[in-house]
Amino acid sequence: MPRTEIYGVRHHGPGSARSLRRALEEFKPDVVLIEGPPEADVIVELAADPGMVPPVALLAYPADTAARTAPGGEPDAPGRRAAFWPFAEFSPEWQAIRHAVETGVPVRFCDLPAAHQLADPAEPAAAAAPEPTEPDGDETERIRLDPLGWLAQVAGYDDAERWWEDVVEHRGEGPSPFPAIAEAMTTLREDLEARPLQGGHAVPEAYARRERQREAYMRRTLRRTLKEGYERVAVVCGAWHVPALRAAVPVGQDDRTLRGLPKEKVALTWVPWTHGRLAHWSGYGAGVRSPGWYHHLFTSPDRPIERWLTAAARLLREEDLHVSSAHVIEAVRLAEALAALRDRPLAGLEEVTEATRAVLCEGAEAPLALIRHRMAVGERLGTVPDSTPMVPLQRDLQAEQRRVRLKPSALAKEHDLDLRKPLDLERSRLLHRLRLLDVAWGEPGPGGGRSKGTFRETWTLTWRPEFDVELIEAGVWGTTVLGAADARARALAAETATLADLTSLAERCLLADLGDALPAVMRSLADLAATDVDVLHLMAALPALVRALRYGDVRGTPTGPLRTVVDGLVVRICVGLPPAASGLDDDAARDLLRHIDAVHESLTLLASAPAPAAAPLGRDAPAESRPVARPGQEEAASDHVNRWQNTLAGLLDRPGLHGLVEGRLTRLLHDTGRLDDVADRMARAVSIGHVGHEPARAAAWIEGFLSGGGLVLVHDEALLRLVDGWITGLSADSFTDVLPLLRRTFGQYAAPERRAIGEQARRLGTTAPSRPADDEDLDLARALPATRTVAQILGRPV
């Protein structure tokens, strides 16, 4: 007589996993059915490979994802759908798979096929139930979406996870919990069926419809398995489904439930997963609160509290915090005492956390947060064997990761790359190519990760499971990372409609060393630059081009076409700026000022030659990693700077110039040494009696002059006296009007800078104006090196 055992489990519960393993060893099934997509039957045997280390997940995606493109070249939106079925070591389903492959027993998945789940346009594919609703929702809705939460409430618990831990996860050796779980679910479902779902709850109704389809397919699979002649069938599914699989439902009813379901061709594979993605706060409906804690409970059944607190103490010692063995002993005693007071069979994470805070951390929250992040949740990243089905782009990335010696990790790691070293240069190119494919494995630091004038880039690398989906989608562009990034850059060049975006794309091509795609990008860039007459668009495009030129030189990348475009842009900007600066309101003046600052900084950067290598690179270093002098480039950059400064000087005295712009131009030309009458200009600007110089315009002039830093007031006492005299001479009404502008200006300075200005202003009334030092007091020979350095920084001729 065939015998079927149905084991209702929590999807990621260590107690369920341990009890299930014992039950399977006792039952000795000749086939195991597991809740999951049946398309994965052909790859389930990979679980026996030593290279398969959980957490891992089954990934289902449309089989034609790599071939489906939208008219513009982007992957079509439907191709971006995917579903995951995660497994941790403490997942009961994973332990059922391991038992089957270790004993040579067939293992099959019995859930609704992924082909139906991904094809349903009305409901995204999901591997588990949605998250529970709020406690004040409709009672029937709450039972449907969170049956365990409802049982916990009936048992007097305000936390469903804590109730499940007490009755299942923290159980030691003893009777199997599965009969009691099945009885509880049966009673709950019978009560639910007696309560009709009230109107207005579309989401629960859609969820219930999908659940009926899933359970019908599970029953169909079970019938087919028994018909094949298996005598001892073990079924592992979510506890909620146990009564449905035991019910005597007619075959015809299940056939009607499953008739006409949409279907799509799908592919399945195994991918690495992380503990962080198993946590419920990640959005995973069947997630648990503390994956790291559950992993510990499953792998350390002997004295778990003592082992956990010992590991926490070790972690704190690694952070140079003093934690002794006596701390650990007292923390264990406190956790056990709290569990006894709360009538819990074993100290849970709450008790252990409270003991950790009180004893190991001595009440401090910062070290406790570290323990929560590293241990309670954890960032364990699983691995899959090389024999796992992958698209060519995934395999190429794995080869590239081995070649440049960058191992994926779920824990964020910072990398400081020296682009003079061949290995670091290759790492940088790989990370930039992946970003072009929207695979943000590496996040650059501030300023794009580059330090001005150096050969260094900073990156933060964090591998996330969804990158595998993005790689599958990016397969439309090519089979290798280099080829796919090259094709994607060409497609973007054909689609991009703004000059600033095209210049940014050109910069990205240089950083990724996409020499084959760069000509196409440059053709689009040159065509658009020749027809764009908006000077603000031209100014917005210049900074990215200059960065590409500068750091392209550092990388040894050919940049001739870029330099040609830059030369043309600078000339057109200088010609178009004066007309664009006329008749501006406050918002337009502020916008123009932002572009002027960006162009000024870019041209100053362009005029400074790449810094030479600090040390020899060795004979084996490739030529592209060495700085190369290019004749004529320094002269061209100097010409651009002179043309730009002449344009600013000619614009400065134009009538009707907005005070904000006039003040900023005065400051820029003052910093470059082009003005020797700054004090007189400021005096005229802030003069209350001067025609047309009302307080608001004077405040705008001051804001423009001081934007970007107020150290000029610290080191130039004459200018500080002018500003101070103007402010103290304002009437009460005028001071009230200009105060918001002044607060905005000075509020942008760092605290030490504001403090230095205040100290200088406080001394103004007690000291006479200082005089410049006599020439005989200066040691010109000693001052010359410092003067040259400062002049180069400011962009002045040396």
- Give bridge partners of residue 4 from the DSSP assignment: 233
pLDDT surpasses 50 at 133: no
Buried b (16+ CB within 10 A) or exposed e, 419-436: bbebebbbbbbbbbbbbb
Residues 222, 329, single domain; the answer is no
Q: Structural domain tally of the chain?
A: 4
Bridge partners, residue 414, by sequence: 460
Task: From 359, 377, 395, give the residue that closes a domain.
Answer: 377
Report whether pLDDT(80) > 80. Answer: no
**pLDDT on residue 331:** 95
pLDDT of residue 532: 80
pLDDT at res. 327: 95
| Exposed/middle/buried for residue 460 (C-beta within 10 Å: 0-12, 13-18, 19+) | middle
Please indicate, yes or no, whether residues 665 and 643 belong to a single structural domain of this protein: no
> Quick one: which of 550, 554, 549 has its CA closest to 626?
554
On whether both 629 and 761 belong to a single domain, the answer is: no
Judgement on whether residues 177 and 245 belong to the same structural domain of the protein: yes
Range in 187-191, 356-360, 515-519, 544-548 with the lowest mean pLDDT: 544-548
Q: Which of 648, 679, 714 is the last residue of a domain?
A: 648
The predicted model gives 521-545 an average pLDDT of 84
Which range is least confidently modeled, 201-205, 427-431, 544-548, 683-687? 201-205
List the single range of 51-55, 310-314, 709-713 with lowest mean pLDDT. 709-713
Q: Give domain status of residue 356, yes or no.
A: yes
Nearest to 292, CA basis, from 303, 307, 302: 307
pTM of the full predicted structure? 0.71
Is 90 exceeded by the pLDDT of residue 209? Answer: no
Q: Same domain for 161 and 18?
A: yes
- In terms of residue numbers, what domain contains 738? 659-794
Does residue 233 surpass a pLDDT of 90?
Answer: yes
Looking at residue 555, its pLDDT comes to 56
Q: Do both 357 and 419 map to the same domain?
A: no
Q: Is there a single domain that holds both residue 705 and residue 594? A: no
Mean pLDDT to the nearest integer, 327-346: 91
371 and 264 housed in the same domain? no
For residues 787 and 201, the model is more confident at: 787
Q: Tokens 């997940």 identify what position?
A: 57
Assess whether 187 and 278 both reside in one domain: yes
Q: Which of 112-116, 381-385, 580-584 has the lowest mean pLDDT?
A: 580-584
644 and 664 within one domain: no
Q: Please enumerate in sequence order all residues whose Cβ is within 8 A of that of 794, keeping only pairs 6 or more positions apart, or say none.
A: 604, 671, 672, 673
Rounded mean pLDDT of the chain? 81
Claim to verify: residue 613 and residue 735 sit in the same structural domain = no
In a domain, 395, yes or no: no
The predicted-structure confidence for 95-107, as pLDDT tens digits, reads as follows 999 999 999 999 9
Q: Give the 3-state secondary structure of 177-222.
A: CHHHHHHHHHHHHHHHHCCCCCCCCHHHHHHHHHHHHHHHHHHHHH
**Do 218 and 176 belong together in one domain?**
yes
pLDDT on residue 718: 76
Last residue of a domain, one of 596, 624, 648: 648
What average pLDDT score do residues 219-237 get? 95
pLDDT in tens, 485-507: 999 999 998 887 788 888 889 88
